[in-house]
Amino acid sequence: MKAISGGVTAAHGFSAAGVHCGIRKNKTKKDLALILSDVQAAAACVYTKNLVKGAPIYVTKAHVADGYARAVLCNSGNANTCNADGVEVAEKMCAMVAAQSELGLTVEDCIIASTGVIGQPLPLEPIAAGVPELAKALCAGDEGSNAAAEAIMTTDTVKKEIAFEFTVGGKTCRIGGIAKGSGMIHPNMATMLVFVTSDVAIAPALLQAALSADIKDSFNMVSVDGDTSTNDMVSVLCNGMAGNETITDAESADYKAFCEALAAVTTYLCRMIAADGEGATKLLQCEVTGAADKDTARVVAKSVICSSLVKAAMFGADANWGRILCAIGYSGADVDITKIDVSFASAAGTIPVCKDGAGIEFSEEFAKQILLEKEIRMLVSLNSGDAEAIAWGCDLTYDYVKINGDYRT
């Protein structure tokens, strides 16, 4: 497997575009994106578990119920959530894309997503004006994926995209993805908005199984601020244009190869989302080893990465390992506190700070040097088994409050 350029247009038969249609007041920011497969594609999605859900989620669930789709339409600047006419607006947006005869789409071919402010009416006029331009701008090159990645951004400071090339059944295949996410990130299914495309041929049921399994160790292990969004969704389209024999066996080497490629994309995007957390200055990675089982490892890693006190300590480059022990203690995981070891690591080196649940002597100066780096690893060994897990997050800074103090204005 190797990283390649192209994002969601790296796979054969996919094109994408992004334009400014007028949902956002800032005319320099793109706010409408489209991803299109030349042919019908197997589709799989996972959605937020927040009881308050954006209207696009209900529409997308209905459209992919048969396991297939061809297009993704997404707007930024308005979440289309908690609006009385939200479902109608989402359906009409899909109809606008289907009305572009050159695309050959039906309304049901469209996955729909929205991101931005909750509870604000989403006007259709700018979207109606922008969709024809969007359709004409579709491009199978890097610029198509770049434009789409830009158009789905809200408070993101960087575009998030990646692609890989791998082999299935002797055929060269490609998979790529784009994501948006910077704040209101504490997924319990997926994350923010993520769109993945591949030219692999795979049965829809297996695609859904692969995605549902993947998110347990990818997007469900990311937290920026502990808030689960109303519009979180991950969508994957696989159009089969690589020419491999359709993957139908979950025990096959081909299925495992696809799952590995999917994990490469999702893990990369997880790290980008965590590193770009609102106001963040550091990417935090909590690596839990020696757990009795996988669930315990996940719970412990997520608890540490979610702790506001741990996040604040990392912002201040303070090796306050006691906050990590505290987060483990209230995580709900059944662990033996007297067996826990903790170390901090970064490009500057590694330093043990806790052994068997108790503090040990260490150099505060060296620890600070380690924690001043942009990427910090918190290494937690439970010494109770062989299971492990990784969670990603970021530090908690003054700027997070500033950004969210006036988000609507």
Helix (H) or strand (E) holding 209: helix 204-214
Tell me which residue of 141, 205, 200 sits closest to 175, measured CA to CA: 200
Active-site residue, from 9, 191, 228, 266: 191
CA 46-48-51 angle, 5° bins: 140
Residue with tokens 């994350």: 191
Q: How far apart are CA 50 and CA 188, in angstroms?
A: 8
Tell me how long the chain is. Answer: 409
Looking at residue 245, the DSSP 8-state letter turns out to be P
Structure token digits, residue 204: 């829809």
Q: Do the bridges between strand 375-381 and strand 387-394 make them parallel or antiparallel, or are there none, so unpaired?
A: unpaired
Active site residue 191: yes
Cβ pair 103, 36 in contact under 8 A: yes
> How many Cβ atoms sit within 10 Å of the Cβ of residue 49?
12
CA angle 383, 384, 385 (to 5 degrees): 105
Nearest in space to 227 (alpha carbons), one of 269, 183, 189: 183
Rounded distance, CA 218 to CA 212, Å? 10
Check if the beta carbon of residue 107 is closer than 8 Å to that of residue 91.
yes
User: What are the b/e assignments for 25-39, b being 16+ CB within 10 Å?
Assistant: eeeeebbbbbbbbee
Residues 6 or more apart whose CB falls under 8 angstroms from that of 71 comprise: 34, 35, 36, 37, 97, 103, 105, 109, 110, 111
Are 278 and 183 in contact, with CB atoms under 8 Å apart?
yes
- Cα–Cα distance measured from residue 181 to residue 152, given in angstroms and rounded to the nearest whole number: 9
Which residues participate in catalysis according to the annotation?
Answer: 191
